[in-house]
Structure 1
Amino acid sequence: MPKPLSLHADRLFSSDPAHRAIARELYASVKSLPILSPHGHTDPSWFADNQPFENATALFLSPDHYIYRMLYSQGIDMDAVGVGSKAGPSAADPRKAWHIFAANQHLFRGTPTYMWMSYVFAEIMGFDVALDETTADLYFDRIGELLATADYRPRALFERFNIELLATTEGPTDTLEHHQKIKDSGWKGRVVTAYRPDPVIDPEHEDFHDKLKLFADLTGEDVHSWKGYLAAHRKRRDVFKTYGATSTDHGHPTAQTANLSHSDTKDLFHRILKKHVSPEDAELFRAQMLTEMARMSLDDGLTMQIHPGSFRNHNKQVFDAYGRDKGCDIPLPTNYVHALKPLLDVFGNEKALTVILFTLDETNYSRELAPLAGHYPILKLGPSWWFHDSPEGMTRFREQVTETAGFYNTVGFNDDTRAFLSIPARHDVARRIDANFLARLVTEHRLPIEDAGEVIQDLTYNLPKAAYKL
């Protein structure tokens, strides 16, 4: 017999009755608020073309590195579950790939993915039995039937999820054609872009020189001169703003910033244009460009996000075969106090600039990040990210950050996902965790219930709206 699938109404709430009752009340006050998803990696073509998703494998497995990295850790090839490689789309049979996923549900027990998928299967797809080997075909066929209906097309799901805004992330050489198509369609859903300039900022990016050429072609600027290079960034940022961008995003290996003299910067720029760049020069150029991006944000109003501390694409074989962003990121120790000081010396006291800091190094929460954000006007703390986007990670974040930075130097929750259907699931988890955390403060008589009610409204809706200028 298949196992039943059900979501407990009090999931993620305390087992203590008094604590749980307050958590329920707080959660109920924000459960139905619109979703703001100001930073993510969903495919804008889904909303531009509004075509049906192909099948369960294409919808759930192929785009979600949380899923296939776990399967890969158990010796299951990514191609076998439908993940395309540099050679082209996967040749795997979608049904067989789905059977592999179904047979390995036990691997996800206790993980955030387990919670997200349970929510999607129960709340969005309407299943009341769990996915396993015996129900794999039932799931695959029923999901296929649903995806063929108008109610499960991307735009319909966007509206059903009550998404007020969803931001995708594009590179500086992206033509943004899908965003133009959305704009021309007359559809009311708000899907905007965000400027991720890493490919033309990181001299160690494998496509750096090719991307620079495209950068020049798109902007008409001489990007091999320092003046033209900066002008090209400003032009592309302006174009991104016409497609709704309110933010930039920077996935540097470290949080290092620099404030070199004009002549030193020009010399450095000419060195990084050479075919062989030293690691020291590559790091220094990335550092200088964070400061340059902050300067541009002060001018054009784009909120700046820094996502450092990830050794990206750690598995060389996977990178060589499948490319970037295939679940091979590994957290690194990250310094912020010394690394950010050059940028903060120039812009730290600006009231019109917002820089949101993320981390994969939780040891920094109370030691560096909360004290920095608790002082400098430009700094805000982004939510728990990647490996820490979990009930435990979110709770640790609130526990270690709140005492120094408070709630109002944070920016609520953004889901940072490639998996479209997980968006409501992730936001539901975040709202429950915040409700539970605030309820604890109330039961310990550290916060009046009225204040907790205001805080959870702000964390859910008002703070992200303000931080991302939505």
Structure 2
Amino acid sequence: MSLLHPDRLFPADPATRRVARQIYAHVKDLPLVCPHGHTDPLWWSENQPFDNPAALFVIPDHYVVRMLVSQGASYQELGIGADAETDARKIWRRFAEGYHLFLGTPSRLWIDHALSEVLGIDTALTPDTADTIFDAIQAQLGTEAFRPRALYQRFGIEVIATTDSALDTLSPHETVAKDWPEGRVVPTYRPDAVVDPEFEGFAQNLETFGALTGCDTATWDGYLDAHRARRAFFIARGATATDHGHPTARTADLTKAEAQSLLERVRTGDASAAEAELFRAQMLTEMARMSCEDGLVMQLHAGSFRNHSGAVFAAYGRDRGFDMPTRTSWVEALHPLLNTVGMDPRLRLILFTLDESTYARELAPLAGAYPCLRLGPPWWFHDSFEGMRRFRQAVTETAGFWNTAGFNDDTRALLSIPARHDVARRCDAAYLADLVTTHRLGEEDATQIAPLLARDLAKEAYRL
């Protein structure tokens, strides 16, 4: 008995549901293309068993953590921070106590999918069943079938990208390339640590950046050359994309003298918040220029007020559930970058936002005009059935399907990967079925579009 209904997420109307089933049948078993995510590269290189259910489902999942914390759980109870609980079974029991809090959320659907479809558990998780389910999962985690590489094959993953600091050695990727030819795990160049003056340890990061590359990061030319060197290092190890997590989408196009002066201020820690924002803005334009040179696809994630609770950030670090959506400007913010290189056929820039209000007003019109732009799928908080449907409804009429970048799972929770892709495929099948039954799209066209949304547009957008 499955915990999941076979018609989940399909339309209630019988005629539309019939079409959705037919469309979904064409894509449900397609390989998974995962061009943006946060799985640990060491999982793939070392291929070690996962420790326990709590380490797999609870501790690393910021969706899970934030919900439980919002209802009174402590980080320590969830195995996080100083004096954290170390008994995995107790952490799991605490999770089970709060599992009802996820009813109606995408997290519930993903976790139920992992429990039922991946682990074969047909009993609902409750405080009464917590220990039995913990033991059932623990027994499976010790088998060869649940090591990371075996799960990669079982899930039908075609390629998966990790997200890696510009300062990373990428040694796990070198190991994967050498001893696991069946897997394709590629790095992604994430330079936030050396382009964001407000990133912790920024000054020391610049010193390390210079030492890694042999470039003088105190000069503007040397600093840019350091980025070119590291990008080339990533490309040699399979990277096809960069990723930039910025508070806003602001870009700039300063003169070399202005940029040098700004670099001097941010290096010494004397820059104001406005100057830090200007430095990030200038670096987005510089990264776009470099992408024209070396072909790396740019990803920009903007509109997140990261680490909203200073106390939580100080005590527990990043990615603990306190990144919040903010209003985001795109048309004005991107103008300097797009005015400089926006019509260059070599540039590919994929845009992600947490501000849904910009879909129809700004993002779809921009992507419907500039050949370099693609719209990334709904980002966290909106990577759900409702969020995906709102995205399609807001952007399709202006940008069409081909100016979107397909789907990516954007997760560090390995067992949720097939669930997330399944939700996206069902959601898109439902949306396409609605277009068919309202006679805005032929059924043959819908059947041809569905694989694009499920896999092919992501491969094309990320040059995979």
Amino acid of the structure 2 residue aligned with 1:346: T
In structure 1, distance between residues paired with 2:204 and 2:61:
28
- State the identity as a percent: 57
1:307 is matched with: 301
Q: 1:13-92 alignment to 2 at 5 Å?
A: 13-83=10-80, 85=81, 87=82, 90-92=84-86
Deviation at 1:91, TM superposition (A): 3.8
What's the counterpart of residue 97 of structure 1? 91
Is this contact kept in 2: 1:6–1:122, CA < 8 A? yes
Provide the C-alpha distance between the structure 1 equivalents of 2:397 and 2:408, rounded to a whole number of angstroms: 22
CA distance in 2, matches of 1:378, 1:187: 33
| Contact map agreement 2:291 2:346 (CA 8 A) in 1 | no
Matched AA of 2:218 = H
Whichever residue aligns with residue 307 of structure 1, its letter is H
* Structure 2 counterparts to residues 344-363 of structure 1, below 5 A: 344-363=338-357
Give the unaligned 5+ runs of structure 1: none
Q: How many residues align?
A: 464
Task: Measure, in 2, the Cα distance between the counterparts of 1:160 and 1:72.
Answer: 33
Q: Note if 1:8 corresponds to 2:5.
A: yes
One-letter amino acid of the counterpart of residue 23, structure 2: L
Residue 59 of structure 2 contacts residue 78 of structure 2 at CA under 8 Å; is this kept in 1? yes
The 1-side partners of 2:264 and 2:97 are apart by 54
Deviation readout 1:372-412 (Å, 9 max, x if unpaired): 00000111100000000110000000000001000110011
Of the three residues 132, 140, 156, the one matched with 1:138 is: 132
Where does residue 110 of structure 2 map in the other structure? 116
Whether 2:364 is the aligned partner of 1:364: answer: no
How far off is 1:225 after superposition? 1.2
On the 8 A contact 2:241/2:296 being kept in 1, the answer is yes
CA contact (8 A) 1:165 1:190 kept: yes
Aligned equivalents of 1:221, 1:405: Cα separation in 2: 42
Residues 42-441 of structure 1 mapped to structure 2, 5 A cutoff: 42-83=39-80, 85=81, 87=82, 90-441=84-435
Q: CA deviation at 1:5?
A: 5.3
**TM-score (norm: length of structure 2):** 0.99
Q: Which amino acid in structure 2 is aligned with residue 29 of structure 1?
A: H
State the 1:257 CA deviation.
Answer: 0.3
AA of the residue aligned to 2:231:
R
- Give 1:272 shift: 1.3
In the TM superposition, what is the alpha-carbon distance from 1:244 to its structure 2 partner?
A: 1.0
- Offset of residue 79 of structure 1: 2.1
Asked if structure 1 preserves the Cα contact closer than 8 Å seen for 2:193 and 2:205, the reply is yes
Tell me the distance in 2 between the aligned counterparts of 1:146 and 1:276. 54
1:358 aligned counterpart, secondary structure: strand
Q: Relative to structure 2, which stretch is displaced further, 181-190 or 287-296?
A: 181-190
